[in-house]
Amino acid sequence: MNYLWSLPKASRIWSNFATRGVLDGWQISGIASYVSGAPQQIQLSVKTSTNITGGGDGARVVLTCDPMHNAPHTFSSWFNPNCVEAPIAGSIGTTANPTGTQVSTGTGVWSPKVNFYLPGHTNFDTALFKNWPLESKAVMQLRVETYNTFNHTQFNQVNDTATFQNANQAPTNTQTAGNFGQMSGAENPRFMQLALRISF
């Protein structure tokens, strides 16, 4: 939502040089936005050189549950890392396992393209203007502009790479990245800028 509001002139109630110069000519504008989180896929890192897929590409983690269901949604644990297990080498699309379900337990499935959603954010960009009319129809304007006006910390990235020692039968192959599922980035802090311009 964007808006622009010219504040009422105080000189309509009390007109003199001071009120016209100080209290008249104010405007406020801004953009208020709410953005939902973008979809993300959990990445996979295997420390050994095991060929998981037989073709060297397309390997994905195995999910035993929905990482976003009842997830803590905290700084240290945005989604449930316990839902993520290591894939099994050669278990994708074999004759015995054509659907790619997890061979070891029969409960897990190869993860879809979207595993979780990043945090959304609410942001306010605001500008305050003061206009002074000059001679010859010129206007001098003082602008005070802020981005992320309320300086609210909003995280926008999550460490989404699960690290395993090798491609093995889960759950014996434990995920080893200590920061897996933690927040790893944030939106910009509040920025402020001043400008003075003359329009004629």
Give 139-182 pLDDT, tens digit per residue: 899 999 999 999 988 999 999 999 887 766 545 567 888 899 99
- What residues are paired with 30 via a beta bridge? 3, 126
Does residue 75 or residue 112 have the better pLDDT? 75
For 57-69, b/e burial (b = at least 16 CB within 10 A) is eebbbbbbeebee
Q: Return d(Cα 38, Cα 119) in angstroms, integer.
A: 8
* pLDDT reading at 28 higher than 80: yes
Task: List the chain domain ranges.
Answer: 2-199
> Once rounded to an integer, what is the mean pLDDT over residues 47-74?
77
> Quick one: pLDDT at residue 64?
82
pLDDT category of residue 20 using cuts at 50, 70 and 90:
confident
- When pLDDT is averaged across residues 9-33 and rounded to a whole number, the result is 83
Question: What is the rounded CA–CA span in Å between residue 14 and residue 195?
Answer: 29
Q: How far apart are CA 181 and CA 161, in angstroms?
A: 8
pLDDT in tens, 176-194: 888 999 999 999 999 999 9
Give the C-alpha separation, 21 to 12, whole Å. 13
Helix (H, G, I), strand (E, B) or coil at 173: coil
**Structure token digits, residue 2:** 């964007």
pTM: 0.69
